[in-house]
Structures are given as structure tokens and as C-alpha cells.
A and B are shown apart, each in its own frame.
Chain A
Amino acid sequence: MQDFEYAAPASIEEAITLLAEPGANARILAGGTDILVQLREGLRQTALVVDIKKIPELGAIAVAADGSLRLGAAVPCHRIWSDARLVAGYPAVTDSARIIGGWQIQGRASLGGNLCNSSPAADSIPALIVEKATCEIAGPRGRRQVPAVEFCTAPGKNVLERGEFVVALSFPPPEARAGSRYIRFIPRNEMDIAVAGSGVWLRLDAAGKTVEAARIALAAVAPTPVAATEAAEWLAGKPASEESWKKAGELARRVARPITDLRGPKEYRVHLVGVLVARALATAAERARGGDRDPMVPADGRPSGVR
């Protein structure tokens, strides 16, 4: 492994100074499950690793009076999927946190890290997009907010500027009669990278029969995770039915621009988008009606996890 220095700042300001220092060649370490592999394999170079886990704010989960939730960027996945508030309010997010790597990876990996690694196949980003998460970014010029959907700009690239890093993800208050879901397709049943992934959110009417609003986002089928806006808008006012889910899936395929690589051929990935969106919508609707709230026992029979 290449040689580097290590710093574990106790405050955001301290971290910014380290990152923004002229000539500094620094990288953020949160869970380390991506960056340490990349440094070891020489895919990225750095002179300084800045461990942000010692900054209290980055490890906090807080719910405000208005019901909105703020998730520290370095909170590891295992704390996310075992947090009742996130499980109840933002199930698509906890779905994704439960399937990133195995338990050992979930013991370390954070959503801030998953976001900043900016892989097109990142499982949590479509979930963050459909849950309307906002990325709180701190930097030399103070703080700014960027919607999750605008965060990634290209494979491995994002809006962060020199000296900036993500400190938290904030979520609007959960809505009544709403449900969300993230699923992906992989050849194995765990420990795999999405061939395609779909995050969805929807709100039903009081009767639970009609879709009032929906959001759909996709993984691994474009240079960045993408929102399928047309499909989501089409769903508004449609009956909550298998036909609607299938049609929305077909519409969602239009934003898919995948490549053929070791994880699967182009046409197959486009096809999967239709399948995954339809399946995810079905579960999200069930959740909106109050069913299957527990991401450890989702409708698709994925095995139950640790309580």
C-alpha cells in the first residue's frame, strides 16, 4: 500500500483546514470500504487520509421538531438499518443499507461514503434520490446544500470542490400513506454489485387505490444514478395496480443508457429496469398501505436480518 499520513480531526472546521490546505493531497476516510481498496490497488493516490469518524456531528442521527431527519454522513450502514426511525420513515434507504456488501462491510460503510464514491452502481443513491435527501456540504466557503439527485456528475465524480466534504444527509418529514423501496438485481444473492437497481417512492390516496405522487431512480444503467422523472410523473393519478407498475417500468427504461461490461450486457440491463421498477413499486405500495414496514422481511422474501 502507498505511504500516507493520517489525521482524525475532532471538528468540521479542523477537517476543512486539513483538506483545503494549499498543496494538500488529502482524501476523506469514513467507512473506508471503497477508499482503502482504491488506495491499495493504486487506483487513487493520496498523501493524507482524513478520518472524519471522530467528528460527533458526522456520527449523529437526529430528528427535528418538524419530523425531518438528519443523518451524519459517516454513520455506518448497520446503524442505519437498525434505526427504527429510518426503518419506518425511509425504508428505501434502510433497504439499500442492508445489502451494501455483507455484514462486515455494513459495519463500516456509510451513505456519505457511498455517495462520494459516486459509483453509477451505488445502491444507496437511488434510495436517497427518491427519499428527497439533501446533501449538506461543508467547505472553506461555508456550507451549502445539494439535492442527492444532483450530487453525482460522472462515474467517480461529483459536485464536491476542493476542501469540501459531505457532513450530513437530511430527509424531509415522512409523509402519510407513503412507501418506498430499493431493490437491485445481482447474480448472487448478496455480496455483489448491482447489474441494475431501482429506488422508488410513492404516496397513495386515502383509499390506498390511487397513486397521488411517485419518484423513481435507477442505479447501474447510466454514468450516474438517474431519476426516471417521466415514469414517476406518469404514475400520478394512476390506479395502484400491477398494470401501472409495469407501465411505469417500461417508461423508466427510457432513461436507461447502460454499457455492456462484466456485470451484464446493455439490452439485459435495460430490460431489468422494467422488471425492477415494477417490483419495487409493488412493495412500496404495500408499505404505503402499512404492510411490510420492516426492511428485514421485505415482500420479495429476502431473508430476515438481525433485530
Chain B
Amino acid sequence: MAKKRHVTTTINGEAAEFLCEPRQSLLEVLRDTLGLTGSKEGCNNGNCGACTVLLDGVPVDSCLVLAVEVEGAQIITVEGLASEGHLHPLQQCFLEGAALQCGICTPGFLVTAKALLDHDPAPSERQIRFELAGNICRCTGYDKIVRAVQAAGRKLQEHQREQQRT
């Protein structure tokens, strides 16, 4: 069997090290080795987005990334969205807008939506639907998810305006 590799990376802002087999996916290592089980396995071949994480700021399906590849990379998972005990506006708006039912796809949606709002805090409905097309939800019909992302965008813009004022 291929010998394990030592990988050094940054996950949710903290330095992380782990040993992995070359064949292990980032998803597998996040969940089984590092205990970050927020990223979910829905299909394990890049078709559902439940395992989405940000790799150097870009959304990727962590089931289609080898853990050995992330040497030196910056990774953000759903566990990294909330800060200092405060939920991210997306998390807040998903709760207030009832944008989840079973919740299994929610982490992936939150991570992709974060990437979207980081690029553009005021996306159109079509833009949101287009950029979230790589995340499948079977419960909600997407309506409340789209509205929650729009609401979070508005919150982020308010925050930005406040910061500009002060």
C-alpha cells in the first residue's frame, strides 16, 4: 500500500497537519481524520455539491480533491463560516428564512453562497440560481434558499456601509 503522506495546510484560518494515503479525498480526510463532519457526502462524484469547500477562495467539491493536493493551501469549510461566536449573515438568513429542511445540503449551499457574495453582494436571482446549480437540494424547492442568499447579500452590504461610515 502507498505510504502515507504528511500534509501541512490551513483550515478555517488555523494551521493544520495530517497524514493521508494518496488515494484519500479531501472530503474523507476532513471528515474522518480531522473530525470536520460538516462537509457532507451526497454522491462522492461531484454532482451534488454537499461537500463544497473553498480551496484558496474557490468553491470545489472536496470529494474530487485528493487530500495530498492541498499542501500549503487555504481551506474554508462550513465550520469556518461563523466567527467569534457570531453566525455569518448567510447562516442567520438561512435560519430566519427557513431555507433548510433536512439540512444535509445546507453546508454546501452556505459555502458556495459565501463565495458568490464575496464576489458580488448583490447578485440577481438568476445569478444566484446559476452559481448554486452545482448544489442540489431535494427538500426546499430552492425558493427560500435563493431569498436567504439575497437577504444575506443585503445584510453584508449594510455591514460594509456601516464600516465605511466608521
Q: Which residues of A contact B (CB under 8 A)?
A: 1-6, 8, 29, 32-33, 36-37, 39-41, 49, 51, 53, 76, 78, 101-105, 107-108, 189-191, 302-307
Contact = CB atoms under 8 A, between A and B. Distances in A.
B127 A304 contact: yes
B66 A101 contact: no
B69 to A, nearest CB: 6
A6 B68 contact: yes
A26 to B, nearest CB: 12
A40 B45 CA distance: 9
B45 A108 contact: no
Interface in B92-141: 112, 115-116, 119-120, 124, 126-127, 129-131, 133-136
Contacts of A102: 49, 133-135
Nearest to A2: B23
Contacts of A303: 124, 126-127, 129-130
27 contacts: A1-B23, A2-B23, A6-B22, A6-B68, A8-B69, A32-B64, A32-B65, A32-B66, A37-B64, A101-B134, A102-B134, A103-B112, A103-B115, A103-B133, A104-B49, A104-B64, A105-B61, A107-B59, A108-B61, A189-B133, A190-B134, A191-B47, A303-B124, A305-B130, A305-B131, A307-B119, A307-B120
B46 interface: yes
Contacts of B64: 32-33, 36-37, 104-105, 108
A191 B60 CA distance: 14
Given A6-B66, A191-B133, A101 B46 contact: yes
A37 B136 CA distance: 19
Contacts of A190: 130, 133-134
A1 B2 CA distance: 12
A51 B71 CA distance: 12
Contacts of B65: 32, 108
Contacts of B21: 3
B15 interface: no
Contacts of B119: 306-307
Contacts of A32: 64-66, 69
A4 B2 contact: yes
B1 A3 contact: yes
The winner among A8, A102, A105, A307 for most chain B CB atoms within 10 A is A102
Contacts of A5: 2, 22
Given A8-B69, A41-B45, 12 more contacts: A2-B23, A4-B2, A32-B64, A36-B25, A36-B66, A51-B66, A51-B68, A102-B133, A104-B52, A107-B59, A304-B130, A305-B127
B37 interface: no
Nearest to A7: B22
B159 interface: no
B81 interface: no
B22 A78 contact: no
A304 B120 CA distance: 12
Nearest to B61: A104
Contact of A49 (B66, B124, B129): B66
B61 to A, nearest CB: 5
B6 interface: no
B69 A51 contact: yes
A46 to B, nearest CB: 10
A6 B5 contact: yes
B82 interface: no
B127 to A, nearest CB: 5
Contact of B46 (A6, A33, A307): A33
B58 interface: yes
A5 B5 CA distance: 10
B1 A103 contact: no
Given A33-B46, A36-B64, A36-B66, A107 B129 contact: no
A121 B55 CA distance: 28
A108 B58 CA distance: 9
B134 A105 contact: yes
Interface string B5-33: 10000000000000001111100000000
Nearest to B49: A104
A33 B25 CA distance: 12
A220 to B, nearest CB: 18
